[in-house]
Amino acid sequence: MIPMPEAVPRDTDSLRVLTACLATGITVVSANGEGPAGCTANSVTVVSAQPPSLLVSLRCTSRTLAAITGTGLFAINVLSWDQRELGRHFATAPVQRRFETVPHDLRLGVPILHDAVASILCCVDRTFNLDDHILVVGTPIWHAVRDEADAVVFFRQTYHRLSRSSA
């Protein structure tokens, strides 16, 4: 007989402990509504290669989400190892001040971070409500990749460096 697993805890702290075991890339999702908006997100995934589409999950109350739905455009900036502190910055800094000291350019009005491993500009294809989050599916319309940059991965509450040589 296969032993029954313990029930999955439904409280937030226990869920964080469980999901900390999922190694994830760290991104900054950016948009431009009434000024630049951006937030840290690790809930980013490829939905389909044909046609190309990406998905981000953002809290319903997110200022970044409001900018995305207002303009129909957003960028996913995959942070490099050298940018790892931007993960905390875009998660905790006051929303109106997140871009003040962060080097970026605008592409179709959307902030694109300098020195990211990759930046992908998307137009919104569709959105889905899911509890306290909105899932945003986007179609890539422009991208840039820095092959020489090392990526940052978040695993068990710690940032880790991921390079081509460690793969």
Instruction: Return the domain boundaries, the chain.
Output: 12-157
Q: What is the per-residue pLDDT for 19? A: 74
User: What is the pLDDT, as a whole number, of residue 4?
Assistant: 63
Predicted local confidence at residue 137, as pLDDT:
98
pLDDT of residue 15: 72
Query: What does the pLDDT profile of the chain (167 residues) look like in tens digits?
Result: 666 666 666 677 777 777 777 888 999 999 999 899 999 998 999 999 999 999 999 999 999 999 999 999 999 999 999 999 999 999 999 999 999 999 999 999 999 999 999 999 999 999 999 999 999 999 999 999 999 999 999 999 899 999 877 55
12-157 — its CATH code? 2.30.110.10
User: Looking at the whole model, is its pTM more than 0.95?
Assistant: no
So what's the pLDDT on residue 20?
A: 78
Q: Name the strands in the sheet holding 52-59, side by side, starting at the edge strand that comes first in the sequence.
A: 35-41, 27-33, 73-78, 118-130, 133-145, 52-59, 44-49
Given the structure tokens 């009005």, which residue do they identify?
109
For 80-110, the DSSP string reads BGGGHHHHHHHHHS-GGGTTTTS-EEEETTE
β strands within 18-167, DSSP E? 24-25, 27-33, 35-41, 44-49, 52-59, 73-78, 104-107, 110-113, 118-130, 133-145, 151-155, 158-162
Q: Give the pair of three-digit tokens for residue 40.
A: 């840290």
